């Protein structure tokens, strides 16, 4: 038996249904029984690891032609004052027309408004160079794309092949509230430009670039294929709705050796396009947020599958780093579907989760927001998830959530080797707290757990075949709550090789 099973003693676990609370008998089952659950997931784990290895081997940066186009040769002035939009765009156009190559920013500070990348163009910002976003909103015209949305942004591309940004310099979007004021919103962001937006592009490469403080989302990629982000640094703590990295309906994506610090969701796979997000490898990175660190959603009209995330640091913002609003994160990992997309075949391993209110949040909802004028989809499913080798410090007292819907349970989830330290000090008043169903609500853990859950480890409702094993969840202060609460609509829930069976 695994030594972590002796980390704590659970005298009883409560099963909550309607307004009554029933004691639950814990039946000890053999390690062999749980190994069957692990064994049943082994083909999925092997297949996902094989997919990740194939991406690493076969998805390589495109070869940039040797010719170089210096922006100064097209009239750019790196004096931090001159707006160089036309000069930079001329260099990009010439580079693409002549077969592609590098558009080079050599030294100094280059101010620009919206520029459009073209096929075959690699922007390169040297270590002594910096691109500065204009602070005049008139330099960001709205662009209506073939995709249904329009957005203002500093850098855009549509239907391009072989594009990218590299170099040890910085793109400073200057998106601070003082330059681009506006309200935090769940809808359209008016006069707060995105940093970068690409639509229907192939072979996108970012290497070692620093992206700093956009006025809204830092970067958004829609319908894109074959993308590599290696050594990218993102700090987006200047304004509201400051997401760090938002791919939507993209396939074949590597995010590696990156640092992302975002005021809003840090790395968020979206489905507003209605297209599937698949074949993702996210590894060897730090992803921190004042909202959610690693997430599917909130727009979830498309499916999410074949996702491997490994060797990550997730959670809130350390005290020594600037945070616009707060230092704690809503969640370390959020896997959600509320608009009809299906979430499945996801492997997350070797992660550290710190400074979160809810380390893991899984959610099925029925908001069912449609794509454009299409009819709403049916409620999606969330299943076949493996999360393993998790550690964490300084997490707060609320606990993790696994919440499906009646007749639409979350299913087939394995959480293994999970060692998390929590704040604790939950009092007895939380034990009988009603957790709202909130079927059509916004899928964020903070809307369920502001004061704390009835359990400090996992609260599970409308779920089946949830196996949580080799667990050590340690409250730093004495906590009146139990480690796990299996509420209504649950079956086949196991904790540390103990089967939770209700007796009514």
CA distance linking residue 248 with residue 292, whole number of Å: 17
Q: Is residue 127 one of the residues assigned to a domain? A: no
**19: pLDDT strictly greater than 50:** no
pLDDT single digits (tens) 205-262: 999 999 999 999 999 999 999 999 999 999 999 999 999 999 999 999 999 999 999 9
**183: pLDDT strictly greater than 90:** no
Q: Is residue 483 one of the residues assigned to a domain? A: yes
Q: Is residue 291 one of the residues assigned to a domain? A: yes
Average pLDDT over residues 164-174: 98
The number of distinct structural domains making up the chain is 1
42 Cβ contact list (under 8 Å, min separation 6): none
Q: β-strand 20-28 against 13-17: which pairing, if any?
A: antiparallel
Spatial contact of 212 and 195, defined as CB atoms under 8 Å apart? no
Which of the 8 DSSP states describes residue 272? T
Q: Is residue 384 one of the residues assigned to a domain? A: yes
pLDDT single digits (tens) 474-503: 999 999 999 999 999 999 999 988 887 542
Spatial contact of 19 and 433, defined as CB atoms under 8 Å apart? no
Spatial contact of 108 and 72, defined as CB atoms under 8 Å apart? no
Q: Is residue 32 one of the residues assigned to a domain? A: yes
Please name every residue paired with 420 in a beta bridge, in sequence order, or none if there are none: 392, 473
pLDDT at 431: 92
343 lies in which domain range? 3-58+243-502
Closest CA to 322 of 243, 240, 245, 263: 263
Least confident of 36-50, 97-111, 267-281, 382-396: 36-50
pLDDT at 148: 52
Average pLDDT over residues 378-390: 98
Q: Is residue 30 one of the residues assigned to a domain? A: yes
Q: Is residue 130 one of the residues assigned to a domain? A: no
CA distance linking residue 306 with residue 284, whole number of Å: 18
pLDDT at 190: 85
CA distance linking residue 50 with residue 65, whole number of Å: 32
Distance of CA 71 to the CA centre of its chain: 35
Q: b/e string for 465-476 if b means 16 or more Cβ within 10 A? A: bbbbbbbbbbbe
**122: pLDDT strictly greater than 70:** yes
């Amino acid at each position: 038996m695994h030594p972590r099973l002796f980390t704590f003693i659970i005298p009883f676990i409560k099963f909550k249904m309607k307004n009554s609370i029933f004691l639950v008998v814990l039946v000890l089952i053999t390690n062999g029984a749980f190994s069957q659950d692990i064994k049943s997931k082994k083909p999925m784990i092997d297949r996902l690891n094989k997919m990740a290895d194939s991406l690493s081997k076969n998805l390589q940066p495109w070869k940039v032609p040797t010719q170089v186009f210096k922006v100064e040769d097209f009239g750019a002035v790196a004096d931090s004052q001159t707006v160089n939009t036309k000069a930079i765009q001329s260099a990009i156009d010439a580079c693409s027309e002549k077969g592609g190559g590098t558009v080079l920013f050599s030294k100094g500070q280059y101010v620009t408004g919206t520029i459009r990348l073209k096929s075959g163009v690699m922007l390169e910002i040297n270590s002594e160079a910096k691109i500065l976003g204009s602070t005049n909103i008139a330099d960001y015209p709205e662009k209506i794309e073939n995709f249904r949305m329009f957005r203002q942004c500093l850098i855009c591309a549509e239907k391009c092949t072989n594009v990218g940004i590299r170099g040890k310099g910085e793109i400073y979007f200057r998106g601070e509230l003082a330059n681009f004021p506006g309200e935090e919103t769940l809808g359209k962001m008016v006069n707060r430009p995105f940093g970068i937006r690409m639509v229907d592009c192939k072979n996108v490469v970012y290497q070692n670039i620093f992206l700093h403080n956009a006025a809204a989302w830092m970067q958004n990629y829609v319908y894109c294929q074959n993308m590599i982000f290696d050594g990218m640094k993102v700090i987006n703590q200047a304004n509201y709705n400051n997401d760090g990295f938002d791919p939507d309906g993209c396939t074949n994506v590597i995010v590696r050796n990156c640092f992302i610090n975002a005021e809003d969701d840090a790395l968020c796979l979206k489905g507003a396009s209605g297209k599937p997000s698949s074949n993702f490898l996210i590894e060897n990175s730090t992803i921190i947020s004042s909202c959610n660190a690693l997430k599917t959603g909130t727009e979830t009209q498309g499916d999410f599958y074949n996702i491997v995330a490994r060797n990550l640091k997730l959670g809130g913002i350390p005290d020594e780093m600037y945070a616009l609003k707060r230092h704690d994160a809503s969640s370390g990992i959020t896997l959600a579907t509320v608009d009809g997309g299906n979430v499945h075949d996801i492997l997350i391993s070797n992660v550290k989760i710190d400074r979160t209110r809810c380390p893991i949040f899984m959610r099925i909802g029925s908001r069912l927001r449609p794509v454009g004028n299409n009819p709403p989809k049916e409620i999606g499913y969330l299943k076949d998830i493996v999360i393993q080798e998790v550690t964490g410090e300084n997490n707060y007292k609320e606990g993790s959530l696994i919440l499906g819907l009646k007749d639409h349970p979350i299913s087939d989830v394995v959480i293994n080797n999970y060692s998390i330290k929590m704040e604790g000090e939950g009092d007895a008043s939380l034990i009988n707290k009603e957790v709202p169903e909130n079927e059509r609500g916004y899928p964020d853990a903070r809307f369920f757990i502001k004061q704390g859950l009835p359990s400090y480890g996992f609260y599970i409702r409308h779920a089946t075949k949830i196996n949580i094993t080799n667990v050590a969840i340690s409250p730093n202060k004495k906590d009146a709550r139990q480690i796990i609460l299996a509420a209504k609509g649950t079956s086949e829930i196991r904790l540390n090789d103990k089967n939770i069976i209700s007796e009514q």
